[in-house]
Amino acid sequence: MITANELNTRGIACLEESLQQHSEEIITVEGKERFVVMRVEQYHYLREMELEAALLESKLDLKQGNFSKDDIDAHVAELFDL
């Protein structure tokens, strides 16, 4: 973990050091975990995995028939019992 004070004092150098050893780093503010920093390559990888998971979930919904052919108003009404 990196404190906000350390980040303020040492700047980006403390992030670069830490990210050589870890894929992400938590930044604390007043002792509480507040932010996560990672290399952009790690961020893009995580986003790609999220999109892959969403695609697989959509394919499974189609396979299981969990979809609607209604227009959007009818579908929303059905979802919210309107």
Burial of 3 (C-beta count, 10 Å sphere; 0-12/13-18/19+) = middle
First-to-last alpha carbon distance for the chain, in angstroms, is 48
Section 39-43 average pLDDT: 95
Domain shared by 6 and 33, yes or no: yes
Which residues span the domain enclosing 50?
A: 41-79
Domain shared by 75 and 45, yes or no: yes
- Predicted confidence (pLDDT) at residue 82 exceeds the cutoff of 70: no
Domain shared by 34 and 49, yes or no: no
Domain shared by 58 and 74, yes or no: yes
- In this prediction the pTM is 0.68
Domain shared by 45 and 60, yes or no: yes
- Predicted confidence (pLDDT) at residue 67 exceeds the cutoff of 90: no
pLDDT at 77 (0 to 100): 87
- Predicted confidence (pLDDT) at residue 78 exceeds the cutoff of 90: no
Give the total number of structural domains in the chain. Answer: 2
Domain shared by 49 and 32, yes or no: no
Question: In the chain, helix, strand, coil percent, each to 5?
Answer: 60, 20, 20
pLDDT at 69 (0 to 100): 84
Domain shared by 33 and 53, yes or no: no
